[in-house]
Every structure is written in structure tokens, then in C-alpha cells.
Chain A
């Protein structure tokens, strides 16, 4: 991204923001998040194809919020997460500045939610071919095979909750899985506990997931668990015609309704 470092320095020096959240070189050809608080630190900022982590997850963390107003280096899923968080009243109109990458690989400064909204809507948003192929493959399986497939995948789960921690939309300070009076979902990674955890996670993201795929990216056991909320997001787009993360004041598909919603299974 051209001008990323210059723009970041300028934002910090003019005191428009107190911290720039972005990506920097990590170990073994990977990138890691960077929280640049002065111009010198901005030199480390970079943005390329490896920068897929959804940095919106840091925006509501107490330690980050305590630093002051942030600027955030944002890819499209990050911008969509920001809009969704705004719709859920977790962020305000001018609580951050986003530095996005336009089609000419130039850094663009988006000063408020209105500008972010306009930028996101000007972009083409589609599932990757790989994800679509996998979705279609699973959908085409017979029922017993689908069950076996997901059981095999879920049995790998070690309940580390990395999927939850990396998700920008899993921001509850107290999660149901940590409640133990009563114990709703077992703590140990049992077959039932895993099935229930993934069901619950997916249902809580239904209509909210912006399909960034970071849950699967973070999964140490390589479970393709991003397909679950992604599949629901596709379904919601088809049935209700809505997509989360495109407007700063949208409703979640599951917290609203139309009296003439169609279904074919209730008799």
C-alpha cells in the first residue's frame, strides 16, 4: 500500500489519533499486529497479501481503548466488521480512523463511519472460490456423510476458543461457555461439548458474521469452522436479501422480521 507509512505518521503527528493499529513483520515470513504510538514505530508498518487478520478485534479491547483514538489499517473484512460493530452500538460514528487500500494500491483515509460505508459499498464482495467449492461439496453429500464429516472435524476441537478470541464480532465480556450455574456446555472437549459449542457459536453469529474466515485461520486444529457461519450468511442473503457489514445502521437478520417471511417447513 503506497503512502501507508507517511499517512500514519501524519495522523500521529497531527494528534488526530493516538495509536495506529496495523501489521508489521513477524517471525517466519508471517505478519503480526503492530500498535504504533509514535512516528518511528510507523516505519515498521506494512500491508500485503499476508495481512488477513481482522484487526477490528482489538478496537473494543480495554487496553487499546485506553490508548486513545485509534487509526486502523483495514482490509475489506475489517471494514465490514467495523460497520457491523457500529450497527451493534459497539463503536461510534467518529470513534476511529480507518486506513484502507483502494484498487490502485493507495492508502485512503476514512475519517468516519459514513466514509467507511461508502468505501465498502464501492467494493466487490464475494466468497473465495475455494470456500464456495467446499460449501458446495459438503452440501452435496448425503446426510450420513455430512454427519460423519462434521463429527470427524469437531472431534479435533480442543476447545481453546481461539475461534472466539479472533472473531471481531464475539465481543461479549462473559461468554455462555464460561457460565457454570448451570453448566450449559461442558468445559471438556467431549464430542457433545464440541458439537454444542460449534452450534452455539454459529447461531450466535447468524446474520452477523461478515465471513472474514479468521476463525478457521486461527484454529490450531485446522477445522474448517468458518464454513458454518459462512453458509448461514449465504442462506440469509438468499432468503432475506441482507448482508451484514455494509451499513452502519443495519439490523441483524435474526433480530428483525417481516410478517410475510417465507418458509416451507412449518405446517
Chain B
């Protein structure tokens, strides 16, 4: 029997005002990009709780993308500035705890950058495809010990 080809599951956490509109532009511009990404829309990057990223991994994601407005472009003035500090600390902590940092992608994509969004998704998809499924985290979520897996 042919082994089913691995398709990565990527969850994208995006802000409503820039990246979501940017992804919309990718579509209306008829730019084709990887279907591996599932987009979740948030009011602002400041609303993207760090725990949501971990919840994505626990529920079977192999990679996450976090994207919002460029600095100084936030609809609410400072949401992305606060988010930037939080992500810096979250990444440091995740790295310290030994998570695979290549599975986290952080970008700024504006509402005018439809082409950039397609590039971001395609690059992430390729990268995660090469890395394979995130079994280490999934085993933790499923209470499987290293020996059993």
C-alpha cells in the first residue's frame, strides 16, 4: 500500500486589519498558494495569546504563522508593539524549553502585500514539509511516552 504523503497542517494567526486583508488580496489577485494553511482571524495581533499557539500544536498543527500589521501601522496604534515584546519573550521561553523554533513563523504582512503573504505561506509550508510532523509535541498532548511512540 502506498504511504500517504505528509501534508503539513499550518495554522495562521492573523490580524483583521492587515494580514487578513492581505491574504484576501492574494486571493483576489489570483495568486496561487499552498492549501496547507488554515487562517484564523483576530481583531489585532495584541489579541493573539501565546497559549493559542500551544493549543494549535496540541491539536495537531505542525507549524504556526503569526502575522499582523507592520510597526506603526496598527489599527489600534500599539497592539503590534505590545505583541512584539510578548513574542520576543515567548520565543525565548519556547527555545529555552526546547521546542522546535523553526515551526514558529512571525511576519508583518500589510493589506497591500498579497504577494508577500503567498511567499510566506509557501516558504513555511516547504519548511514544515521538510521537517515532518511535530510528533514530539503531539506525543505530549496524547500522553504518549517516548518509548511507546
Contact = CB atoms under 8 A, between A and B. Distances in A.
Interface of A: 138-139, 141, 143-151, 184, 190-192, 195-196, 199-200, 202-203, 206-207, 228, 231-232, 235-236, 239-240, 253-255, 257-259, 261, 263, 265-267
Contacts of A195: 54, 97, 140
B81 A143 contact: no
Q: Is the interface of B mostly helix, strand, loop or mixed?
A: helix
A199 B96 contact: no
Given A203-B89, A232-B93, A235-B89, A257 B78 contact: yes
B76 interface: no
Given A190-B143, A266-B107, 19 more contacts: A138-B96, A143-B98, A146-B96, A147-B136, A149-B98, A150-B97, A150-B98, A192-B141, A196-B54, A203-B86, A203-B89, A228-B96, A231-B92, A254-B82, A254-B89, A257-B78, A257-B84, A259-B81, A261-B81
Contacts of B42: none
Given A191-B140, A261-B81, A266-B108, A203 B90 contact: yes
A178 to B, nearest CB: 15
B82 A257 contact: yes
A231 B84 CA distance: 18
A184 B51 contact: yes
Interface residues of B, number: 34
A192 B89 contact: no
Q: Which of A191, A192, A259 has the most CB of B within 10 A?
A: A192
A148 B98 CA distance: 8
Interface string B86-112: 111111110111111100001110000
Nearest to B88: A263
A255 B107 CA distance: 21
Given A147-B97, A192-B140, A267-B107, A255 B82 contact: yes
B58 interface: yes
A232 B71 CA distance: 23
Interface in B47-96: 50-51, 54, 58, 71-72, 78, 81-82, 84-93, 95-96
23 contacts: A146-B98, A148-B98, A151-B98, A151-B140, A190-B143, A192-B140, A192-B143, A196-B51, A199-B50, A231-B92, A236-B89, A240-B85, A253-B85, A257-B84, A259-B72, A261-B81, A261-B84, A263-B88, A266-B87, A266-B106, A266-B108, A267-B106, A267-B108
A257 B81 contact: yes
Contacts of B100: 143
Nearest to A235: B92
Contact of B93 (A143, A228, A263): A228
A236 B27 CA distance: 40
A147 B96 contact: no
Contacts of B85: 240, 253-254, 257, 261
A257 B85 CA distance: 7
Contacts of B106: 265-267
A239 B88 contact: yes
Nearest to B141: A192
Contacts of A203: 50, 86, 89-90, 93
A199 B97 contact: yes
B134 to A, nearest CB: 11
Contacts of B107: 266-267
Nearest to B102: A143
Nearest to B91: A265
Contacts of A236: 89
Interface in B93-149: 93, 95-101, 106-108, 120, 136, 140-141, 143
B54 A199 contact: yes
